[in-house]
Amino acid sequence: MSQITLPLDWPETGDPTGFIVDESNADAVRHLDSWTLWPVHISLLTGPRKSGRSTLAKLFARKSGGQVIDDADLSDEEALFHAWNAAQATQKPLLIVADEPPPRWEIALPDLQTRIAATPKIRIEEPSDRLIEARFQHHFSERGLAMPQNVIDYLLKRMDRSHAALAHTIQLLDRHAYEQGRRITVNLAREVMAELGFIDL
């Protein structure tokens, strides 16, 4: 399974961060890689929880030397306003991370509203089948467990296409396999799908 080729040194599947680049996040990765070209020195990254957005933000900070404000929609608005101004004044990049952009992110402070409106916005989308498969393979290879293709095919036909569902599925498969000393099989996958409410046994 090939990943999207990008003109930057983001981690491959074997990286300990587990961040995998595919079409759901490639636009965000490209944007963060070109931070020197941003029209302002700030960008807003949004996306579902469990999507790897915080990992991507940390990788960006490491590469750019910039600052990250995670869960910005829960942060103090005055502090965020001053951080925006400081980034623009010092030309040191600032990446703001939130669940959603405005207007779904409700901002009360008018001056912050204006600045966020002028901020470039990028988003991580829900995972593709390719990313789901790669996440399964990466996680269980790191754990020294085989993840057969027929199990992945079974799961792809039944699970929700969301980062949250993927994380919960991996967590349950991992727990059953380790706590019960079981191999990952279609029967085990069927039990996990039932436990998550995707099928009835």
What was the pLDDT predicted at 17?
54
HEC assignment per residue over 39-86? CCCEEEEECCCCCCHHHHHHHHHHHHCCEEECCHHHCCHHHHHHHHHH
Joined tokens for residue 135: 């996440």
Convert the pLDDT of each residue in 132-162 to its tens digit. 999 999 999 988 999 999 999 999 999 999 9
What was the pLDDT predicted at 200?
80
Please, are residues 20 and 134 in contact by the beta-carbon 8 Å criterion?
A: yes
Residues lower than pLDDT 70 in the chain: 1-18, 201
CA distance 102 to 3: 31
What was the pLDDT predicted at 5?
43
What was the pLDDT predicted at 19?
82
Question: For 118-129, b where at least 16 C-beta lie within 10 A, e where not — what string?
Answer: ebeebbbbbbee
Q: What is the pTM of this model?
A: 0.86
